[in-house]
Chains A and B, each alone.
Chain A
Amino acid sequence: MEQTLMDKLTILADSAKYDVACTSSGASRTARAGTLGSCYAPGCCHAFTADGRCVSLLKVLMTNRCAFDCSYCVNRRSNDIPRATFTPRELTELTVEFYRRNYIEGLFLSSAVLGTPDYTTERMLAALRLLRGEYRFGGYIHAKAIPGTSPELLQQLGYLADRLSVNVELPSEQSLNLLAPDKGRHSIFRPMKQIAVSGAQSKQELAVYRHAPKFAPAGQSTQMIVGASPETDYHILKLTEGMYRKYSLKRVFYSAYIPVAEDSRLPALDTKPPLLREHRLYQADWLLRFYQFEADEILDRDNPNFNPYLDPKCNWAVQHYGLFPVDVNRAPFEMLLRVPGIGPKSARRIWHARKLSSLGLDELKRMGVVLKRAQYFITCNGFSGAHPGRGTAGRERITQALIDPNVFGGNCEQLSLFTPPAVDELITQGVAPRAALRMVREEAVQCLAKAL
């Protein structure tokens, strides 16, 4: 039976949705006369799905017929699911019509491996050429580099797309060999390097000649699956830091593994996706990119996993409690950034405002500093630091203020999305969810207070 456009869209969007990257940031241009579409550097979200994720791009696969058999993937060859393939024309028209209605910011084109990687990339190129050429589309295009594609084709892809990405998928070579035997480490890092080199070259050419063609002006990103293989958080974070430095990636995305296959090499089908762990990785990733932290400061060999109850920044502050309190009116910028409750924006505001007048608590509050957490770590005009009290009670008061509200949030019907594993364990033993939350919370507070 002939598939309708609706069927194809449903199948190919469903197959693509586990790819988490959906940002449209990093490129900036205005449409010239005769063209359609612009790019907005901070990115733009056009809708939010019921799981709270942003929809920015028309995220679909060119095809979900795959020659590979990666065990963590829904589209693997051995999986019995409906298959579909877009023609370049169908995909182009859909993109343009969605774009005109302001549904999307552009196209996110990925694909399963149809026949060979080169053939797949050729088809993607055909669609992008139609879009950029015939339709004069200037919106955002994120294209996925298919592992194993020849460098020449990848180069062409880079001149059509704004952003390229190669998915690392699994954080170590052993896991890759075990779970994705068709992809080698080499087939992932070679294109990543090529994109980094070509991007840097293109920037240099642009400096000399402003009409030089742009190679992936929004850079490249990658994605890792968390929880499908046994790597520690420290391992993942070190890998992330390495990739940011070596390949000048714009973003690393993490995706909590959602079981899609019964396989002895993978977590069981009823495993909950490790959303809390994913959340902590994103927080740490933010610390690397915007807070001048290094991976080794956040985690180390002796503490290779994140504290489930404290966000990584609070965790660092608690472990270096001796460095605090800092004087907001004097502390260097990088130290302001490390105070729990002060983010890059309020740090910048403090930096400017304190040159004009000495700051007190009221001023800080109006600037957006979260005093509930910050009060134990700062002094300012007229305030010599909050004194939680002596001994255990005092330490527990600090921990109460710092403990991550997301973890113990939620109400009696629905627990928070980020419920820590310890709570889940108690619930499976038959403890009522609210009681379990309370027990774990109390224990966490005591434990953290002791370490303070």
Chain B
Amino acid sequence: MSGEGTVNPQRTRRLHDADVVYLYDGSFEGFLCCVFESFAQHEIPFAVWTPQRETSTLYPVKDIPTDHARAQRVFASFGRKLGAETEYLVSRDFLSGREDKELLLIRFLHLAFALGPGTVKRTGHPDVAPLYEMKKSLDWEVDKFQGFVRFEEHDGMLGAVIHPKNYILPLLRPHFCGRFPEEDFLIYDAVHQAVLLQQEHKTRLLELAAPLELPPPSAREQQFQALWTQFYKTLEIQARHNEKGRMSHCPKRFWADMVEMKDEF
């Protein structure tokens, strides 16, 4: 977009904000290729989009193809040059539901490769702090959903529906697999249209093409739901009623998927 006729090689080598949009397939490997491109061109793109988030723009859109070998190369450099903590933080934050997560991560990585492995500890730096914000939101949601997932039994199979803001199924996986080794279960993430499925001791993470509908609960299932709802209602101590307290710990967006909250919702 610059109006200069001749290109000054020194200037292009310096990291700069480029008026360009990266478009990738939304996978972690695809994102790593965006990182590669950004470092190769010494540029920070105006935005990074996936096909779902694509909108019309005046800026040129650069298609970033997903290349497995290139992604591996980038990922290996995280652990080797930036340390395990950075590797963990970046991989985890990629699951965030924030629109500009790729851009925030790319900005951070440019800083981190410049300053070295200690960069993650600079929690007050404007390019580092957003990563901890994303991590906080993710951790919070994972923590909440570990408790708020509600299974229903259908012919011996347990099924649950959730509506999370972040893509947390990969993070829920170790918890639920480590808890129910003998059960067949599925957790359906209706926002990201993905399913965590455990069947016959095998666990898979699937992306669905069409929405999933759970069958209505059986009589036996309804009985347990009634028992649980009754137990939940009994526990309240009237003299300490505190609606605000409940809302801050369990915001309303969770209620639709929680059997004991459905009739209050």
Contacts and interface: CB of A to CB of B under 8 A. Distances in A.
Interface string A90-121: 00001001101111010000000000000000
A391 interface: no
Nearest to A11: B234
Interface string B100-135: 000000000000000000100111111001000000
Interface in A103-162: 103, 105
Interface string A258-275: 100000000000001101
Contacts of A54: 249
Interface stretch (B29-37, B70-78, B143-151, B163-171): B143-151
B175 A40 contact: yes
A47 B232 CA distance: 8
B230 A258 contact: no
Contacts of B232: 47, 49, 55
Given A356-B121, A364-B124, A366-B126, A36 B240 contact: no
Given A50-B236, A51-B241, A98-B228, A356 B122 contact: yes
A37 B176 CA distance: 9
A352 interface: yes
Interface string A323-367: 000000000000000000000000001001101110100111111
B208 interface: no
A89 interface: no
A336 to B, nearest CB: 14
Given A10-B234, A98-B224, A35 B182 contact: yes
Interface stretch (A25-33, A78-86, A226-234): A25-33
A348 B239 CA distance: 39
Contact of B243 (A50, A55, A364, A367): A50
Nearest to A17: B235
B231 A362 contact: no
A204 to B, nearest CB: 28
A40 B160 CA distance: 20
Nearest to A275: B240
Contacts of A97: 224
A38 interface: yes
A58 B143 CA distance: 19
B5 interface: no
Interface residues of A, number: 61
A417 B242 contact: yes
B189 interface: no
B153 interface: yes
Contacts of A40: 146, 175
A355 B118 CA distance: 10
Contact of B230 (A10, A58, A352): A10
A9 B232 CA distance: 11
B14 interface: no
A103 B146 contact: no
A349 B135 CA distance: 15
| Secondary structure type dominating chain A contacts | loop
A40 to B, nearest CB: 7
Contact of A101 (B152, B182, B230, B235): B152
Contacts of B125: 363, 366
A273 B175 CA distance: 38
B245 interface: yes
B181 interface: yes
A18 interface: yes
A152 to B, nearest CB: 33
Contacts of B18: none
Q: Which of B158, B160, B183, B250 has the most CB of A within 10 A?
A: B250
Interface in A1-29: 5-6, 9-10, 13-14, 17-18
A209 interface: no
B265 interface: no
A215 B224 CA distance: 32
A251 interface: no
Q: Which of B118, B143, B146, B147 has the most CB of A within 10 A?
A: B147
A322 interface: no
Contacts of B256: none
A52 B183 CA distance: 32
Nearest to B225: A101
A52 B249 contact: yes
Contact of A367 (B124, B143, B242): B124
A100 B151 contact: yes
A31 B179 contact: yes
A280 interface: no
Closest 10 CB pairs of A and B: A52-B245, A363-B124, A366-B129, A52-B242, A30-B178, A51-B240, A352-B121, A46-B147, A48-B250, A38-B179
Interface of A: 5-6, 9-10, 13-14, 17-18, 30-38, 40, 42, 44-56, 58-59, 94, 97-98, 100-103, 105, 256, 258, 272-273, 275, 349, 352-353, 355-357, 359, 362-367, 417
18 contacts: A6-B227, A9-B230, A10-B234, A13-B234, A36-B183, A42-B143, A49-B237, A59-B235, A98-B224, A100-B180, A101-B150, A101-B151, A101-B152, A102-B150, A102-B151, A355-B121, A356-B121, A367-B129
